[in-house]
Amino acid sequence: MTPAATVPLSEAPLGRRVRIHRLSASPEVSRRLRELGLCEHAIVSCLLKGHGNIICAVQNTRIGIDRGLARTIVVSAAE
Amino acid sequence: MRESSSTPAATIALVGNPNSGKTTVFNALTGLRHRIGNYPGVTVERREGRLLLDDQRAWAILDLPGTYSLLANSPDERITTEILLGQTPHTPRPAMTICVVDARALERSLYLVSQLIDQQLPLLLALNMMDNARREGIRINARSLSHELGIPVIPMVASRGEGIRELRQALRNGPPPTLPPLEWRLPEPVRREWEELSAMLREHHQLAPPVASHEAMVLLSRPRPESGDDRRFAPVILQHLAKDHQKLDFLGYDRQVMMLEARQEWSRALAARVSSRSAAGGTPSLSDRLDRVLTHRVWGFVIFLGVMGLLFQAIFSWAEIPMDLIGRLFDQVGHLIVGVMGPGDLRDLLVDGALAGVAAVVMFLPQIVFLFLFLGLLEETGYMARAAFIMDRPMRRIGLNGKSFIPLLSSFACAIPGIMATRTMENSRDRIATMLVAPFMSCSARLPVYALLIGTTIPAISVFGILSLPALTLFGMYLLGIGAAVLVSWIFSKTALRRTTPVFLMEMPPYRLPSIRSVLAQTGERAWVFLRRAGTVILGASIILWFLATYPKSDAGTPSEKLQQSFAGRAGRAIEPVIAPLGFDWKIRIGLISSLLQREMFVSTMGTIYNVQTNDDGGTVSLRERMQNDTRAGTGERLFTPLRGICLMIYYVLAMQCLSTVAVMRRETNGWKWPLIQILLMTALAYGVTFVVYQGALRLGLGGP
């Protein structure tokens, strides 16, 4: 497996399916992210950006997160 | 709402992720036979209902706060965990548990399900919103899910009542007595330490096996071996724990995620086995398309302002018609009593004390109903989460965040549900900041005060042809409260509550048509709580006030002199030196004192005082007119000048004047520190601003009638 190029979720192109590589927020916040389904290896896609925040889709649900937090979620292209 | 006299029934607990339709299932099961109260010691709302199964067994059903996990940390979610683990005093561990799962989010929900099964809770799974899942091409084999989990799984569409009968049937059959252990796998060294620690907890603290393993898991996953609640555990446990942490860290396990990852691995595999998804059609769902508009950079904001405008329009203008009717109804009742009963103290007590006091408050029922109706609709449709999303950035500028928005919006109804709504916030700094400023939002209890004072003192002049001066004044009072909140929270965010990196993380539920039934049910509950208060606290206080304003009776003198001689008159005079610079006379001061209990008491106090004063042939002259005609003996100067009216309103915008809020603050923050800070701050602000405005206006010669 070749190491894929990684970017923060905040930079991921809209609508593109990406895979979560690593969470680098504080342990407490990371746990919350994981419980909402934003865990390592999960497939997400950014649906829209606006008002300084992002709505992303994961497992059929929509999660709103702020861009600062999205910067701590490292993703790479899925497949 | 009926209380049963039989012995307390065994409890069924409803759990599930937020937005899984848990409350819809609850309403469908209980009909309207439920009540809201509080858990002892905390103000988390406890929603309890009764369920009568066909075999005449009665059950109590508890609707627990929504949660994603039993390890979650907001106060709301902790309650759920504690109830399920049987750690709450006076609430026995539930005999049965229904976990409501949004069928579209099966994989995520299985995480919570696995925790519940590990707790050996007798469990049923209600697989809700099957219609939405089907529409999105998701197929779930409920039978094989049930087989794999070893518990009954009932597919349902609770909003249409589908599957409720089957759920009742399953409840009657009861869940399987013991659950097979789940096949989620921890790495061997971790499992060993976990079992060892669980055994120690069972031995040293006499914990039930499932509770012990839950505690052991929490202990192993926390960042450091030591923590604030160490006194709960024996030293030998903590020593052992320190060694466990060292060992697992050395072996390279990420302790904080290992349990979670193992469970999620299991959830993912299981979800894949029992569900399938037809190739997603390229068209985005309706929710996604709506989101593109409703959270749009420009349109999102425009629509948001429109929604808020509509909300205030409903409260302040549509509600007037029913309010008028209620007012007239009470007048009729008053006339009726006056007609039937002979004059005397008892009649005065009934008409001038009890009836006048209660009427002044019940008048505002329509506004309360409209407000909760709107809030309920916004919540049910899923728009509330979007409003939080949109408001996140502006709220950050002043040291709050998007999640503060819902509590603050609710505070326009009442600061108490507002403060309670902050329980969904995980960050305690954000939570305290939000609670601190919540009482600045003009609540529905202030509305009667504003309405009375504006009606009495502000002339109905139109401004620019379309706006009226009274409406503008009212709007100004709301803005003043918001402004104060902004200022205070900004100052705190720079000082005592310096912010860490604020986080906004919130599920955006799919848009859906609101269930009118459950919105109405909730609104009904709120209205009932309000009415009950009017019938108990306010009724009692009105009678006491009437007594204080009537006795000791002096035979001679004008009604006004009699009032001054009464207990209430004397109390009003006692605080004169402090309050006089604000321009408030002794009658207003009585109002201020009585409304320390709750703000709307000001209106009923005025009702009582002015009825006492013009004790003649029934109340045909409205309170408003009586107050307008009140002049100072001697000078003939009107008491309620526009300036005094405005000053009084400013005082009410900024002052705490609400004992219930203080009590809730104390309970929610676990101490007196924050409520005391809040009281001091609000009192100082109220006094200071009112003083400056009144004295400033007098100096500028604006004190005229």
pLDDT digits (tens, 9 = 90+) for B524-547: 877 887 777 777 777 787 778 778
Other CB atoms within a 10 A radius of the CB of residue A6 amount to 15
Residues of B in contact with A62 (CB under 8 A): 287-288, 291, 507-510
Strand pairing category for A61-66 and B505-508 = antiparallel
CB B586 within 8 A of CB B564: yes
Searching chain A, which residue's CA lies closest to the CA of residue B74? A32
Residues of A in contact with B270 (CB under 8 A): none
Residues of A in contact with B388 (CB under 8 A): 64
CB B164 within 8 A of CB B156: yes
Q: Rounded to the nearest 10 degrees, how much is the dihedral formed by the CA atoms of B11, B12, B13, B14?
A: -150
Put simply, the answer to whether A29 touches B505 (Cβ < 8 Å) is: yes
Tens-digit pLDDT profile for residues B33-57 = 555 554 444 445 567 888 887 667 7
Put simply, the answer to whether B502 touches A66 (Cβ < 8 Å) is: yes
Q: Is the pLDDT of residue B660 over 60?
A: yes
Closest CA to B37 of B525, B387, B510: B525
**Structure token digits, residue B299:** 């349109």
- Distances in Å between the Cα of B85 and the Cα atoms of A32, A51, B79, B88, B533 are 21, 41, 10, 8, 34
In angstroms, the CA B589 to CA B213 distance is: 60
CB B444 within 8 A of CB B311: no
Closest CA to B597 of B303, B361, B330: B361
Half-sphere exposure of B59 (CA within 13 A, CB side): 23
- Distances in Å between the Cα of B474 and the Cα atoms of B450, B508, B591 are 7, 34, 20
In angstroms, the CA B373 to CA B353 distance is: 32
- As a whole-number percent, the residues of chain B with pLDDT over 90 amount to 15
Q: Is the pLDDT of residue B651 over 90?
A: yes
CA distance A64 to chain B (A): 5
Put simply, the answer to whether A50 touches B287 (Cβ < 8 Å) is: no
In angstroms, the CA B334 to CA B337 distance is: 5
Which of A51, A64, A68 is the closest to B300 by Cβ?
A: A51
Output the pLDDT for position B499.
Answer: 64
Average pLDDT over residues A47-68: 87
- Which uninterrupted H or E stretch holds B16? strand B11-16
Put simply, the answer to whether A37 touches B108 (Cβ < 8 Å) is: yes
Put simply, the answer to whether A48 touches B295 (Cβ < 8 Å) is: yes
Q: What is the mean pLDDT of chain B?
A: 81
**DSSP state for residue B575 in the 8-state scheme:** T
**Structure token digits, residue B325:** 């009717």
Residues 6+ apart with CB under 8 A from B133: B103, B104, B139, B140
Closest CA to B611 of B358, B246, B381: B358
DSSP string, B668-690: HHTSSHHHHHHHHHHHHHHHHHH
Tens-digit pLDDT profile for residues B207-253 = 888 888 888 888 888 777 777 666 778 888 888 888 888 888 888 88
Angle at the Cα of B364 from the Cα atoms of B360 and B366, rounded to 5 degrees: 145
Tens-digit pLDDT profile for residues B299-309 = 888 998 888 88
Average pLDDT over residues B618-626: 64
In angstroms, the CA B405 to CA B166 distance is: 39
**DSSP state for residue B151 in the 8-state scheme:** S
DSSP bridge pairs for A31: none
Output the pLDDT for position B376.
Answer: 83
**Could you tell me where the DSSP H helices lie in chain A?**
27-35, 67-70
Q: Is the pLDDT of residue B484 over 90?
A: yes
Q: Is the pLDDT of residue B3 over 60?
A: no
Q: Rounded to the nearest 10 degrees, how much is the dihedral formed by the CA atoms of B135, B140, B143, B145?
A: -140
3-state secondary structure of B442: coil
- As a whole-number percent, the residues of chain B with pLDDT over 70 amount to 89
ipTM score assigned to the predicted complex: 0.92
Output the pLDDT for position B691.
Answer: 93
Residues of B in contact with A44 (CB under 8 A): none
Model pTM?
0.78
Average pLDDT over residues A51-79: 88
- Between B396 and B636, the higher pLDDT residue: B396
**What do you get for the CA distance between the two ends of chain B, in Å?**
51
Put simply, the answer to whether B256 touches A30 (Cβ < 8 Å) is: yes
- Distances in Å between the Cα of B105 and the Cα atoms of B148, B486, B602 are 18, 38, 50
Q: What is the mean pLDDT of chain A?
A: 86
E runs forming strands in B105-253: 123-128, 138-140, 153-155
Residues 6+ apart with CB under 8 A from B491: none
Tens-digit pLDDT profile for residues B201-216 = 888 888 888 888 888 8
